[in-house]
Amino acid sequence: MAGLYELWSDPVLPEDDPNKWVGTCTVLTRPASDSLGHILDRSPLILLESFWGHWLDPNLTDIGEVQAMINSVAEPHLAPYEVSTTVNSPRNNNPSLLEPI
């Protein structure tokens, strides 16, 4: 999935504070019009491997070029299925969470 991350220093913390540097990230989404559209109005922007190098290029800063690349990515065709409600708690983290019910 396409995402963005940033490392930034918290201006209110002193320079020697171990929590001074904060990492943040986000997953890019787009309007959903595939089979997920009736569940959520957004779908993740899933990049094929052929896009990875360009997406990760630190010199890619032109907003028009970024938008053109995003627009050229085909919409994913994801197949939704129901899973257990145990996914609702972050305390649960194991492969069985992916099993259909």
Each residue's pLDDT tens digit, 24-75: 999 999 888 766 777 888 888 888 899 899 989 999 999 999 999 888 888 7
Instruction: Print the domain residue range for 10.
Output: 3-98
Cα 71 to Cα 17, 46, 47, 60, distances in angstroms: 42, 12, 11, 15
What domain count does the chain have?
1
pTM: 0.66
Residue 85: how many other CB atoms lie within 10 Å: 9
Structure tokens at 70: 């995003």
pLDDT confidence of residue 34: 67
pLDDT confidence of residue 77: 77
Residue 87's pLDDT band (cuts 50, 70, 90): very high
